[in-house]
Chains A and B, each alone.
Chain A
Amino acid sequence: MATMNESLYPVLVLIDELKNEDVHLRLNSIRRLSTIARALGEERTRKELIPFLSENNDDEDEVLLAMAEELGNFVPHVGGVEHASVLLAPLEGLCSVEETSVREKAVESLGRIGSQMRELDLVESFIPLMKRLAAGEWFTARVSSCGLFHIAYPGAPEALRNELRTIYGQLCQDDMPMVRRAAATNLGKFAATVEPSHLKTDIISMFKDLTKDDQDSVRLLAVEGCASLGKLLEPQDCASEILPAIISFSQDKSWRVRYMVANQLHELCEAVGQEATRMDLVPAYVQLLRDNEAEVRIAAAGKVTKFCQILNPEIAVQHILPCVKELSSDSSQHVRSALASIIMGMAPVLGKDATVEQLLPIFLSLLKDEFPDVRLNIISKLDQVNQVIGIDLLSQALLPAIVELAEDRHWRVRLAIIEYIPLLASQLGVGFFDDKLGALCMKWLKDKVYSIREAAANNVKRLAEEFGSEWAMHHIIPQVLEMMNDNHYLYRMTILSAISLLAPVMGSEITCSTLLPVIISASKDRVPNIKFNVAKVLQSLIPIVDYSVVENSIRPCLVELSDDPDVDVRYYANQALQAIDQVMMSS
């Protein structure tokens, strides 16, 4: 040990810790595996470190996960691409462990390594590994193998390709549903690498097998693959092979399958082309919008805009819009809520006339919905609305909705609407705001719930930013300062925090002339909590105001507070005084 190089010492500690009984140390060491490898050199990494890791696949899951991840980036450390195959052994073991996250990471790393490997190595080591996994005794190995085919296939010679397709076909019919699920998940990726001639035969037949699976969970994944598969095929093949499947899926007995279709359908439209979309997909989609199961309608409603963007406006108005109208009075609030969050996106698609004529009534009825979530979703997309229908029309309908939300008995709803107020203000302009919303903003400062008061104080600041300090001076500051005389100390605290937020926005001059006197007078408050908050606010004002103001107003006030009978007040006053001294020292 005496001969050891000093610089090698930390590495030796790491190597030591690879074998330590403490998981954290092992984990730490694994995380720095690349450091170890660099120190060992390429040769010893290949001959010693990697074999050691291969045997070490019986560790805790978090250690294995880290190992799987590190090995993915290890190609340079073992001597480059020509030696990449030595990395396969440890990862192969990790591909069959029981913890899903470890397996997934191992497959990901194998994919990364495999895509760099030379064709020869791919055939000699990567593909045999894949075949071993695919024929593995445990389903975990077979599951992992499914995620590797798309890596190996492009590099495989013709004869091997046939075999790989056959193996994949077998995996699609495995006894264990987990394996079939993995095969279904990866079918799209695999299909993308397969030659078009085999695509139409082999892959489509695998796909058809999966669509007829007993297990709903497998069929669900087959639906997910529809779109990616469809995009690979020629439009006419897609129409003849995929379309019937998706149509039958859209009428599946299982609502979960229909739910998936509702989510995916718009992606298929491009693949099958205009004509088939109009003939087949639109009716299927309309059916989904009217599904018995609310979950399916939620999914379908959420995609209305995307679907309409693909269609031409007449079809949208003719077929989709009536359904949208029905959905806007759906019995499930979640459906209405999903609709509310996307409906405004339809406006540009439909054009101004159709929007005002057809969409606006729906929009207005959603804005009056009995459930606050629905109304909130509409209001959150207000910027889109504004572009289409003028502000006058909007404001008439909007105001009652906002006022109602502002007074909702659930504080979370009130909180949500407060957060939209700056957006509303910027959309609606100063005039509208002064008339209608100003009073509301002040009212929130006196809310019963702290979170609302806090948000209201912040809101006041954001409004000042939006409309400028000139405006704030006339429309916010007087009202806010007025409230400083409230009887309730909690409200006074809110105002204090509002003032501290406003000060940086308003700038030094207004702060000194208007805000500071109020704060100074608050230092005479009878409640200690107010007093120490005054100290905190004063401290926050130091960078904003001039040196003379600090010395002439702030410091005397703090000195006075530092003699307060209350210990907390003294503490914060002294903190603030120290801060002043520090600023003085540095300047």
Chain B
Amino acid sequence: MSLSVSSDCSSSSSSAALEWKFSQVFGDKVPGEDVQDIDIISAIEFDKTGNHLAAGDRGGRVVIFEDKGGKDDMIEFTPRKELEQLDSVVSKHPKFQYKTEFQSHEPEFDYLKSIEIEEKINKVRWCATTNASSFILSANDKTIKLWKVKDRGKKQVKEMDICESVSSENSLLAEKSFVGGRNLANGHSLELTKNMEYGVSSYNGIHNKIACLEDTTLARCQRVYAHAHEFNINSISINSDWETFLSGDDLRINLWNLEVSNQCFNIIDMKPENMDDLIEMITAAEFHPFHCNLLAYSSSRGFIRLVDMRQSALCDRAARILKDEKSQGPKSLFTEIIASITDMKFANDGRHILSRDYMNLKLWDLHMDASPVATFRIHENLRPKLCDLYNSDAIFDKFGCCVAGDRLTFATGSYSNLLRVFAFGTGSEEGVTVTANKNSNRKPHVQPTTRARRSSLSNLARGFYRQGHDNHSTTGNELSYDFNSKLLHLAWHPTASLIACAVGNSLLMYSA
């Protein structure tokens, strides 16, 4: 049966059993500085190993962070004094570092339909890792691109060595140019030109040697999967066979082969003959973590449909529909709006699905389709204010959710940059609330000059480590919400207790 939870907010909670501590921030803003719209993060995702984190923003950029695994190094190299200041928690958690960024999408204009296509990244997804390269799928409203991010640091050093010591056995080939002096002397400058060619920016445009060696990652667009979506793409998900992926828009879901960009198969089409009959839209779609034939998609009516691709080529008929049949309180004007599922994730056990609608986080068991096994109220105290929220359009905010890799613990966001963490099966269902507020207890930080926008590095590159003592509130009942600060996007590290969340233009990491 369902463990529906009371919305009583008074209970104390050590429920998630972990204390969430601030760990890192990237893209901190100077107090008083306006957040530029294009800098706002719109998608984040860890790769399978948790060594990399990708963040896409409204400016069409994808920024990649790498876990330096630097716990040991840190102890080795950090002066003892500083080490003492560090939290013990800090050193056992992944430490991320800015690695690279690339311009994934550019604003476009569809002349046939006369609509502008924003460059905003709606989703990023990591593909299987091969060699030293990572592959990332990124999507804006219409187009999906496959990017290869390649580390070239080692090669560069090697090349320079060759050029300095010409004595190796392949002397002929290593010799300097036979013809004229137009060849570049070594791979270093060669690398620089390439960087510019592919729009990979280097540190603040100062192309000194060290900076170049640090940022030698090369991002290259491998494939473009275009012209397949009439509506806006809201999901991409890679199949467990690592060969195919799906892309879902408001009304349709397409299936692609990663290697083939000129053809895809429509597997789900919810578009009615007549658009006046439209009653339901797809809001999210995801493949099962290990059964290659199963996929789930959620709808604006609050349903989650589970589809078996083995049954037929067109998957319009769902194998199972998960819907919460118990009505939640009295019906109102907004019941239908807030029923819409804004995000949905499979848990790694393959048996549970987490869904987020405007007011709740729900955990479903695939074996029980009549109701969720647990419902967590996120901001029940907003219920009387729905009318205001409707008028300000805030009611259409799309909050994301994420699941821990190893257990049924989940996180989602709310207004006032609240991060809510819940655990299933611990008895208490209230969860932990953390204010993901980077301005708390922050020492004034002097920022260097104004940044060149779009051309150079995004603000995320200016990440720095800051030890945090953030406000910890375990109650979710503050009455004054800041509706402009909302925590929409977040991702859980696949192996560690680490949550990355996007707050405006900053990326904050919390660990426990």
A contacts, CB < 8 Å to B: 1, 4, 12-13, 15-16, 18-21, 40, 44, 47-49, 51-52, 55, 58, 96-100, 138-140, 176-178, 181, 214-218, 252-257, 292-295
Task: Decide: B172 and A48 in contact? CB cutoff 8 A.
Answer: yes
Verify B130–A21 contact, CB threshold 8 A: no
For B130, give its contact among A13, A47, A139 (CB under 8 Å): A139
One of B104-112, B175-183, B330-338, B495-503 contacting the partner: B175-183
CB atoms of A18 and B173 under 8 A apart? yes
* Complex interface: chain A residues within 8 A of B308 (CB): 253
A16 touches B178 (CB 8 A): yes
Partner of B310, one of A16, A18, A20, A216: A216
**At the interface, yes or no: B14 with Cβ under 8 Å from chain A?**
no
The reply to whether A255 and B133 form a contact with Cβ atoms under 8 Å apart is no
Q: In the bound complex, do residue A255 and residue B311 qualify as a contact, i.e. CB atoms below 8 Å apart? A: yes
Question: CB of B171 within 8 A of chain A?
Answer: yes
Contact of A47 with B169 in the complex, beta carbons under 8 Å: yes
10 interchain residue pairs of minimum CB distance? A254-B310, A98-B130, A52-B173, A12-B178, A48-B170, A52-B170, A217-B241, A295-B313, A253-B310, A177-B241
Q: 18 more A-B contacts (CB under 8 A) besides A217-B292, A253-B308?
A: A1-B178, A4-B178, A12-B178, A13-B178, A19-B173, A48-B173, A49-B173, A52-B170, A55-B162, A98-B130, A98-B135, A98-B148, A140-B131, A178-B242, A254-B310, A255-B310, A255-B313, A256-B310
Majority SS at the chain A contact face: helix
Which residues from A are CB-within-8-Å of B131?
96-98, 138, 140
The one of A12, A51, A256 that contacts B170, using a Cβ cutoff of 8 Å: A51
Interface string of B286-324 (1 = CB under 8 A from A): 000011110000000000000011111100000000000
Q: Does B152 contact A (CB under 8 A)?
A: yes
| Contact between B183 and A176, CB atoms less than 8 A apart | no
Q: How far is the CB of B362 from chain A (nearest CB, A)?
A: 29
Shortest C-beta distance, A22 to chain B (Å), equals 10
Q: Bound state CA distance, A50 and B435, in angstroms?
A: 60
CB contacts (< 8 Å) of B312 on chain A: these are: 255, 292-293
What chain B residues lie within 8 Å of A13 (beta carbons)?
178-179
Q: How large is the interface on B (under 10, 10 to 19, 20 to 34, 35 or more residues)?
A: 35 or more
The 8 Å CB contact of A58, one of B155, B243, B309, is B155
Cβ of B190 under 8 Å from chain A: yes
Q: Which of A1, A15, A218 has the most CB of B within 10 A?
A: A15
- Chain B residue numbers with a CB within 8 Å of A19 are 173, 183
User: Chain B binding site: helix, strand, loop or mixed by DSSP?
Assistant: loop
Contact B173 A178 (CB under 8 A): no
On chain A, the residues within 8 Å of B485 by CB distance are none
Which B residues are in CB contact (< 8 Å) with A177?
Answer: 240-243, 292
A sample of 21 inter-chain contacts (CB < 8 A) reads A1-B178, A4-B178, A16-B178, A20-B183, A97-B131, A98-B130, A98-B133, A138-B131, A140-B131, A176-B128, A177-B242, A177-B243, A178-B242, A214-B290, A215-B240, A217-B244, A253-B310, A254-B293, A256-B310, A292-B312, A293-B313
B193 in the interface, Cβ–Cβ < 8 Å? Answer: yes
Chain B proximity of A409: nearest CB distance (Å): 20
On whether the beta carbons of A15 and B184 are closer than 8 Å, the reply is no
Taking the closest CB of chain B, its distance from the CB of A559, in whole angstroms, is 47
Q: Which residues of B contact A96 (CB under 8 A)?
A: 130-131
Whether B259 is near chain A, meaning CB under 8 Å from some CB there, is yes
Q: Is the CB–CB distance between A16 and B242 below 8 Å? A: no
- The A-contacting residues of B in range 107-128, CB under 8 angstroms, are 128
Taking the closest CB of chain B, its distance from the CB of A89, in whole angstroms, is 13
CA distance A16 to B175 in the complex (A): 9
A44 and B293 contact, Cβ closer than 8 Å, known pairs A139-B130, A177-B242: no
Q: Which residues between 121 and 157 of chain B lie within 8 Å of chain A, taking CB atoms?
A: 128, 130-131, 133, 135, 148, 152, 155
Q: Does the CB pair A217–B243 fall under 8 Å?
A: yes
How far in angstroms is the closest Cβ of chain B from A311? 28
Q: Which residue of A lies closest to B184 (CB)?
A: A21
Q: Tell me, in angstroms, the Cα distance from A217 to B257 when the chains sit together.
A: 11
Residue interface mask B223-267, A partner, CB < 8 A = 1: 000000000000000001111100000000000000100000000
Min CB gap A551→B, angstroms: 53
Bound-state Cα–Cα, A78 to B402, Å: 57
**Smallest CB-CB separation from A19: which chain B residue?**
B183
In the assembled complex, the CB of A70 is this many whole angstroms from the nearest CB of chain B, namely 16
Question: Considering the chains assembled together, what is the distance between the CA atoms of A98 and B136 in angstroms?
Answer: 13
On whether the beta carbons of A138 and B130 are closer than 8 Å, the reply is yes
Residues of the B chain whose Cβ atoms lie less than 8 Å from the Cβ of A100: 259
Residue of B with least CB distance to A180? B241
Q: Please report the C-alpha to C-alpha distance between residue A12 and residue B422 in the assembled complex, in whole angstroms.
A: 68
- Residues of chain B within 8 A (CB-CB) of A20 are 183
Do A16 and B240 touch (CB < 8 A)? Answer: no
| Known contacts A178-B128, A215-B292, A292-B312; A21 and B193 CB within 8 A of each other | yes
Could you say which residues of chain A place their CB within 8 Å of the CB of B133?
Answer: 98
In angstroms, Cα B172 to Cα A546, docked, is 67
Name the CB-closest residue of B to A143: B130
A contact residues around B244 at 8 Å (CB): 217
Q: Which residues of B contact A255 (CB under 8 A)?
A: 310-313
